[in-house]
Amino acid sequence: MGKAFELIDESPLYRGFFNLSRYRLRHTLFAGGWCEPLVRELFHRGRCVAVIPYDPETDRVILIEQFRIGAVGDKAVPWLVEIVAGAIEPGEGPEAVARREAEEEAGCRLRELIHIGDFYTTPGGCSEKVSIYCGLLDGPIQEGVFGLSEEGEDIRSIVLSADEALAWLAAGIIDSAIPALALQWLALNRDNLRRSRD
């Protein structure tokens, strides 16, 4: 039997900044047949983009730090070190979002985008899928405080050498999955990026 599922019904639980729905469904089993109906809640997040700004000439990256509601109750200080990211709005492509968010959140411009991959972040209960890029920097690298005040953003940009950023990851200072994935990709590919700029 092939893989299949049946959506029995869907009901909205909450509609606000994010949306939450309850699904009743069933799906085929690896051993054959169908499972009993399941009830699952789904947090709707949609498509997002994340980008790690990188300068291959100086081997430096820009990371950002901001308050994150998801870390409240787990961390005494719920500010996370991450990479630039944002939601894809209607009519936008992922590369346009990467460029827009790099300017809004880190005050930087990107000359080239290298697609790292597309990943579900927490598929056990959230629809979010993120396209991750490495953005090669165009122009000077700066630290500062950025973000859109109308979106309640207060974002600090941090410039580090790639080695320092990887040390932060190893030390657990960076404890969010998306920047961890991007930095691990950079660790595997930075020599090639640097050689291709010679």
SS3 per residue for the chain? CCCCEEEEEEEEEEECCCEEEEEEEEEECCCCCECCCEEEEEEECCEEEEEEEEECCCCEEEEEEEECHHHECCECCCEEEECEEEECCCCCCHHHHHHHHHHHHHCCCEEEEEEEEEEECCCCCECCEEEEEEEEECCCCCCEEECCHHHCCCEEEEEEEHHHHHHHHHHCCCCCHHHHHHHHHHHHHHHHHHHHCC
Label residues 175-197 b or e (16+ Cβ within 10 Å = b): bbebbebbbebbeeebeebbeee
Reported as a single tens digit per residue, the pLDDT across 18-60 is 899 999 999 999 999 999 999 999 999 889 999 999 999 999 9
Task: Examine the residue annotation and report whether 143 is marked as an active-site residue of this protein.
Answer: no
Assess whether 114 and 52 both reside in one domain. Answer: yes
Q: Are 95 and 152 within one domain? A: yes
Statement to judge: residues 15 and 88 lie in one domain: no
For 125-150, write each residue's pLDDT tens digit: 999 999 999 999 998 888 999 988 88
The answer on 81 and 11 residing in a single domain is: no
Residues 76 and 167 in one domain: yes
φ/ψ of residue 24, rounded to 5: -115, 125
CA distance linking residue 67 with residue 75, whole number of Å: 11
Are 93 and 117 part of one and the same domain? Answer: yes
Q: What is the pLDDT of residue 1?
A: 62
Q: What is the pLDDT at residue 74?
A: 86
Q: Are residues 35 and 107 in the same domain?
A: no
Count of domains in the chain?
A: 2
Residue-level pLDDT at 159: 97
Domain membership of residue 26 as a residue range: 5-44
Measure the CA–CA gap between 85 and 63, rounded to whole angstroms.
11
Point out the catalytic residue in the list 36, 128, 151, 153: 151
- Tell whether 14 and 76 lie within a shared domain: no
pLDDT average, residue stretch 161-169? 98
Whether the predicted model's global pTM rises above the 0.75 cut: yes
